[in-house]
Amino acid sequence: MKNRMMNLETAAPLTLLLLLALAGCAGDKAGDGAAGADSTAAAAAADTAGAEADEPKREKAIKVDVGAVHRGALVIPVFADGVLRTTKTVEVRSQLGGELTEVLVRDGDRVRAGQVLARLDPRPYRLALEESRLRHLRALGQIAAEDEEQVDDPAAMTEFLARRDELQARRDRGELDPAAHAAQLLDLELTALKAGAFRRDAAAQRTGLAEARIAEERARLDLEHAEIRAPFGGVVSSLTAVKGANVSVGQTVGTVSDNTRLEAVVNVLEADLGELAEGSAALVAVPAVGDTIRATVDVISPTLDQASRTCQVLIRFANPDGRFRPGMFARAEVAARIHRDLLLVPRDAVLTRDDRPLVFKAADDRAQWLYVDTGRQNAAWIEILAVHSGGSLEPGDLVVVSDHLTLAHEAKLDVRRTVPTDDRWAAAAGGEAP
């Protein structure tokens, strides 16, 4: 029994050592497999890299926009700020005093020329008209009662007219001073009256008929003025008339403005007036509505503001739909100088490198680097005086206008679009703009 126990104690360590040896062999075989797999992958990657190195590298095209070169006129504008105002606005005033019995409009109403805006109580003016008519009739009755012939002597009237014209001619020539002329004219009128001229006028004056006629016309006119009317078509604003209120002579009851035509009142600097002329083309930008009006200069003030050293310039234009309103801010460009037959490129095409201007010409699908000499310019175009570096620019050529800050000579191009040319000054240049 003792021997068996000793054998078991001896066998246990041997079994453990055998198991450890077998595990080590298995690990070695697994490690050998992983190493083989890694070697295979590395070899495959090396083969792929070698194949890519053997293929030619593809050149990437740069996407750009281009614009056309053209020969034409270059407009140099002057700039001026100002405001819009209406050319027709009137404060409507009552020509009579009295109570307002009707107010027929409100602020913002559009009215026609002659439309009634408000009415005064007409009764006092009707009575005045009736009274003047009665005075007229009374004077006529007096003339009829006198039963005298009220016919002017034609010969006396003809003689008077001839001598009156002669006196006037002598005064015009300086032969008679005003006092002498007045005295001789009075003597001439008295002589003509005694000879039979002015019989009707004298009778009308003696009987009061002349005054009655004048009073009747004045009363009729007052009755018409009892209706306050629009002087022209437009829009009512600043209405102060209230039904039942009493107004006095000359009191303002409202304003009528005709906004169908407006004018931009802009102030041009004294230094910019040299080549400015009435009739020059103008562009008036109105930021409030985001629109630009094409018009011409109508008036250049003959005087300058001494404080600002500016000259007032008026640019008038139609406003049929009322889109523009008086008081809006306006910025005007006026075509002051026009230079014709120039080689022009879009302003965005010109870069500066090494303190020299250059453009990139799009030749086939490549960028051609051209140094240039530039001349006059405006917001859209630059004049090209000369081209260097062996290239050329001709009307119709395309030049790069975008994405060219880091562009290189002979770089491959992918043209996205051709930018349309700017023709905003075509009318001013006589159709020479592109």
CA pair distance 260, 234, nearest whole angstrom? 8
Quote the pLDDT of residue 20.
38
The pLDDT, as a whole number, for residue 300 is 95
Angstrom distance (rounded) from CA 137 to CA 185:
33
pLDDT of residue 430: 57
Tokens 């070899």 sit on residue = 43
Phi, psi torsion values for 305, nearest 5 degrees:
-75, 120
271-292 pLDDT, tens digit per residue, is 998 888 999 999 999 999 999 9
DSSP character string of 262-328? EEEEEEEEGGG-TT--TT-EEEEEETTTTEEEEEEEEEEEEEEETTTTEEEEEEEEE-TT--S-TT-
pLDDT (tens digit, 9 = 90+) per residue, 72-116? 999 999 999 999 999 899 999 999 999 999 999 999 999 999 999
Alpha-carbon distance values, 375 to 150, 350, 371, 379 (Å):
88, 12, 14, 13
Q: What is the pLDDT of residue 223?
A: 94
- 172: part of which helix (H) or strand (E)? helix 154-172
Q: Token pair for residue 11?
A: 């066998």
Residues 246 and 98 sit within 8 Å (Cβ to Cβ): yes
Report the alpha-carbon distance of residue 358 to residue 388 in Å, rounded. Answer: 9
Q: Is 81 helix (H, G, I), strand (E, B) or coil?
A: strand
Q: Does the reported pTM lie above 0.95?
A: no
Report how far residue 346's alpha carbon sits from residue 383's, in angstroms, rounded to the nearest whole number. Answer: 9
For helices 178-194 and 154-172, give the axis angle rounded to 10 degrees.
170
d(CA 313, CA 281): 13
Residues of the chain with pLDDT under 70: 1-57, 147-152, 390, 422-423, 426-434
Per-residue pLDDT at 152 = 67
Burial class (CB in 10 A: 0-12, 13-18, 19+), 428: buried
